[in-house]
Amino acid sequence: MYDIKIRLSLCFDNENTAQAYYKGIYVDNKPFKGTSISTKIYKETLEVESESESIGTLKNTVDDIIACVEAIRKTLRL
């Protein structure tokens, strides 16, 4: 059972962009001890949910997600 849960909603201009971010984030979508993560697309919105027993672990997971999003953003601009 997880004690802490977070949901990140990322809104994009269109579904294709949301799909590109989904594919980039999904690769890193591996659960590990005491933590789960799921990624879903709803039209042009990408939702990432994570649950953890530890606030520190959850913070690290969110930091990783944000880093992935930023890397994808920079790549898509090229």
When pLDDT is averaged across residues 46-58 and rounded to a whole number, the result is 91
When pLDDT is averaged across residues 35-54 and rounded to a whole number, the result is 91
With bands split at pLDDT 50, 70 and 90, how would you rate the model's confidence at 24? confident
* pLDDT reading at 54 higher than 60: yes
* pLDDT reading at 15 higher than 60: yes
Q: Determine the pLDDT at residue 30.
A: 65
Please give the domain boundaries of the chain with CATH numbers for all domains.
4-77 (3.30.310.50)
Contact (Cβ atoms closer than 8 angstroms) between residue 12 and residue 46: yes
Quote the CA–CA distance of 72 and 49 in Å, as a whole number.
Answer: 19
